[in-house]
Chain A
């Protein structure tokens, strides 16, 4: 890289009054309630829409008075409920993982998938399936954690070496290179083992459909635990984000915060990959949306991101069912189609503001 070409992102400090939509505690709380309502509506939508569209009244009945004899109830109970729950939980996870990654690397362009965490987790899962013949879901999860951890650690290390510390461009480039490495290893494994391509492909593409509740249940304790811990991290991250020196001066042990954030990222992002495969860009987009709504206060940003992430993934999943009806678009493809342009927009803004 040429000298003097480092980029700063003044655009991304949502500090000035005009940049943030909600100021008072009242409006922030009201916004949170409104978002919760939106998530609930989308959740219902996710149960109702699909190859056979089910009326809302029947959907409501299926939840309150489940009747296995009714076909519509059966559709909701066997496939759509699982799917909606997965989209809800994973949406939250990915969004919060994104908040942590951006805070930890102090990089507005970062996201778990851009750091190679997704492809690392997938490579280890595919390795476990094809070579080690692992078939238990819990074990997939541990492999996903391992892969996510290795990839994240390598990218973080490579991004932070050098005088300038973590610069956005270094983090992004090392993430891209590591992703390419893991992706090509995954491809190598799959070419050798041709039978598994079709089964694994939908996973690589990322999908919330056709998963067993079992899959989610085995990962759920970890995900929920991480989610709850995250909600209480707001204050600490807020202090951390004012810079290492300031945070230390305020009495924060930044090392512990960094490690804690790293562990949470690995659990949230790695666990998500184990359940739905590679779903990118939620972690990139959502923190920016949340910042636009409530500003840099992480105590509000984290719950906002969780709800926005859930809403975005639920909505993307509903739309994915209708684009090439009756077939479905993998959710990872959907999020990439939305998130890629958003990344470009951020990159353009950020560099233009130099």
Chain B
């Protein structure tokens, strides 16, 4: 059998998986697991992998601090952030049917940055840092709404969305710089490190609260995922198939914003993951949205985890923001995509 199809709740929810997808899924789980173990063992003190394993399963307890307090939450947060960014990018790309779209290019991420930096400048010492995600998501939401409203002209066309997103992004970035120049030196440095994208100093609290945020868009994606498959066929086709196009487009945009905004809140501006992960996933695992989103999440997690691993071990004792490495791989990748699409 080449495909398995699941239809649940009177076909309200349906999935289709292929055998190839299953193979891809399992191999990415293995790869991610491997990088996960390495990132627990590598760092300023190297711990042999078998001891990491024993520590995790509770057979020994001598690395409790390094593994369980320092590295485990950081690795888990990297995985969550990467998965969120990847899926955010996938939604956006399916939505605008443009393989070059991603939250960071069309300005959602810079909106989130503006929200977060505004929070850091005015809120530090006044409000608990716990509320940073609200500010970041709020900023991303504001940017997304602006982009959406401005590009609205009897509906939204993808290309207008991207161009206007670039304009909005420029304004948001100017806003961030404005905030940075206004603030004091200590906050400037802190904000700057945050902006570049770093998961330095992740704690268990971050991990659990991020999981809570990610639980919001999940059910929506499961239920509405199938209409995203139809949307890819074009506006006319999907309307005639009974998709409430503009409504669902809006809902999906919101999901993408929540995912990207949450990721930005916990890890700052990690760029290009939302662009790369869906592309790699599409190459490997076909086009069905639900299957694709799981693979995309895995690949996004892999990218961020690897970038963070490289960033904190390559220049020991320095801890370089992971965002530098994702951009170093991602920007050439983007240019390569542009090269590939040169005749379209």
Q: Does A13 contact B (CB under 8 A)?
A: no
Would you call B178 and A333 a contact (CB within 8 A)?
A: yes
Q: Does B280 contact A (CB under 8 A)?
A: no
Would you call A351 and B328 a contact (CB within 8 A)?
A: no
A339 interface neighbour in B164, B170, B181, B321, Cβ under 8 Å: B170
Q: Does B334 contact A (CB under 8 A)?
A: yes
Closest chain A residue, CB of each to CB of B174: A336
Q: Does A198 contact B (CB under 8 A)?
A: yes
Q: Does B327 contact A (CB under 8 A)?
A: yes
Question: Dominant SS at the B interface?
Answer: helix
Which stretch of B115-123, B192-200, B289-297 is in the interface?
B192-200
Would you call B188 and A201 a contact (CB within 8 A)?
A: yes
B188 interface neighbour in A154, A198, A339, Cβ under 8 Å: A198
Q: Whole-angstrom distance between the alpha carbons of A172 and B164 in the complex? A: 12
Question: Dominant SS at the A interface?
Answer: helix
Which stretch of A126-134, A156-164, A234-242, A255-263 is in the interface?
A156-164
Would you call B98 and A1 a contact (CB within 8 A)?
A: yes
Would you call B177 and A204 a contact (CB within 8 A)?
A: yes
List residues of A (244-291) whose CB comes within 8 Å of B's CBs: 280-281
Indicate with 1 or 0, residue by residue over B277-298, a CB within 8 angstroms of chain A CB atoms: 0000000000000000000000
Would you call B320 and A188 a contact (CB within 8 A)?
A: yes
A184 interface neighbour in B100, B188, B271, Cβ under 8 Å: B271
Q: Does A70 contact B (CB under 8 A)?
A: no
Given A180-B272, A351-B160: A161 and B196 interface contact (C-beta under 8 Å): no
Would you call B177 and A187 a contact (CB within 8 A)?
A: no
Would you call B335 and A174 a contact (CB within 8 A)?
A: yes
**B105 cross-chain contacts in A, Cβ below 8 A:** 173, 176-177, 180
Closest chain B residue, CB of each to CB of A336: B174
**A2 cross-chain contacts in B, Cβ below 8 A:** 97-98, 158, 344
**A340 cross-chain contacts in B, Cβ below 8 A:** 167-168, 170-171, 174
**A281 cross-chain contacts in B, Cβ below 8 A:** 170
B341 interface neighbour in A1, A180, A330, A333, Cβ under 8 Å: A1
Q: Whole-angstrom distance between the alpha carbons of A341 and B185 in the complex? A: 30
Which stretch of B18-26, B125-133, B149-157, B256-264 is in the interface?
B149-157
Indicate with 1 or 0, residue by residue over A335-354, a CB within 8 angstroms of chain B CB atoms: 01101110110011001100
**B178 cross-chain contacts in A, Cβ below 8 A:** 329-330, 333
**A164 cross-chain contacts in B, Cβ below 8 A:** 343
Would you call A158 and B163 a contact (CB within 8 A)?
A: no
Q: Does B56 contact A (CB under 8 A)?
A: no
Closest chain B residue, CB of each to CB of A204: B177
Q: Does B215 contact A (CB under 8 A)?
A: no
A7 interface neighbour in B97, B159, B189, Cβ under 8 Å: B159
Question: Which of A1, A3, A174 has the most C-beta atoms of chain B within 10 angstroms of its own C-beta?
Answer: A1
Would you call B159 and A184 a contact (CB within 8 A)?
A: no
Q: Whole-angstrom distance between the alpha carbons of A109 and B162 in the complex? A: 13
Q: Whole-angstrom distance between the alpha carbons of A343 and B171 in the complex? A: 10
CB distance from B79 to the nearest CB of A (A): 21
Q: Does A185 contact B (CB under 8 A)?
A: yes
**A333 cross-chain contacts in B, Cβ below 8 A:** 174-175, 177-178, 181
CB distance from B136 to the nearest CB of A (A): 18
Q: Does B339 contact A (CB under 8 A)?
A: yes
Which stretch of A44-52, A80-88, A189-197 is in the interface?
A189-197
Interface residues on A, range: 35 or more
Would you call B163 and A187 a contact (CB within 8 A)?
A: no
Q: Does A327 contact B (CB under 8 A)?
A: yes
Q: Does A303 contact B (CB under 8 A)?
A: no
Q: Whole-angstrom distance between the alpha carbons of A183 and B341 in the complex? A: 24
Q: Does B230 contact A (CB under 8 A)?
A: no
Q: Does A181 contact B (CB under 8 A)?
A: yes
Q: Whole-angstrom distance between the alpha carbons of A187 and B174 in the complex? A: 16
Indicate with 1 or 0, residue by residue over B311-336, a CB within 8 angstroms of chain A CB atoms: 00001001011011001101110110
Q: Does B85 contact A (CB under 8 A)?
A: no
Closest chain A residue, CB of each to CB of B100: A173
Q: Does B237 contact A (CB under 8 A)?
A: no
Q: Whole-angstrom distance between the alpha carbons of A280 and B174 in the complex? A: 10
Would you call A180 and B331 a contact (CB within 8 A)?
A: yes
**B60 cross-chain contacts in A, Cβ below 8 A:** none
Q: Whole-angstrom distance between the alpha carbons of A161 and B331 in the complex? A: 18
Q: Does A73 contact B (CB under 8 A)?
A: no
26 A-B residue contacts at CB 8 Å? A2-B98, A3-B344, A161-B339, A173-B100, A173-B338, A174-B338, A178-B331, A184-B271, A184-B328, A187-B195, A187-B323, A192-B318, A201-B180, A201-B192, A202-B181, A205-B177, A281-B170, A329-B178, A333-B174, A333-B181, A336-B174, A344-B167, A348-B160, A351-B160, A351-B163, A352-B160
Binding site for A on B (CB under 8 A): 97-100, 104-105, 150-151, 153, 157-160, 162-164, 166-168, 170-171, 173-175, 177-178, 180-182, 185, 188-189, 192-193, 195-196, 271-272, 315, 318, 320-321, 323-324, 327-328, 330-332, 334-335, 338-339, 341-344
Sorted nearest first, the 9 A-B pairs with minimum C-beta distance are A162-B342, A336-B174, A181-B331, A184-B327, A340-B171, A188-B324, A344-B167, A347-B163, A343-B167
